[in-house]
Amino acid sequence: MCLKHHYPKPIPKNMKYGYKIFELIYDEDGNDLIGYNSEIYQQISTKIYKLNEWIRDKETYNIKCGEGDYWYETGFHIFTRLKDAKEWYDDYLYETICKVEFRNPVAYGVQEILKHTSWDKPNRIITTPVIVAKEMKIIKDMTEE
């Protein structure tokens, strides 16, 4: 995921929670949940993230925003609203949405995805606000909410 547009206004100071889509990782038998995984840097990560542990993005390079001359540092793209995470969740084969706490935000903007609908309806673009943060902690699985 990359930002399409950035917000020139500062990241709201009271914003510290958001939502992220994760794949559930089970043990070899497929019975016990051992953690969460998420796509990072347009590749599938091999890391397993645990609940209530701070995760830090250690990469330090910049990415160009989709439009304009704005560059931002790499980080975790976190949805600011649960309804947006649910909308993206429908498009992918990930298995859960988690509430996350974040800190050290580096960018605030919008990302887009082309949502494929049924054959008899036109596709549409979903535009959602996101925070890009250097650190996050998975707090709760939100799939059932």
Per-residue pLDDT of 58-111, as tens digits, reads 877 887 777 677 788 888 889 999 988 888 776 455 578 999 999 999 888 888
Domain count across the chain = 1
- pLDDT tens column, 123-132: 777 788 899 9
* Segments forming the whole domain that contains residue 123: 5-141
Q: How far apart, in Å, are the Cα atoms of 123 and each of 2, 18, 67, 114, 132?
A: 20, 27, 22, 7, 27
* pTM (two decimals): 0.81
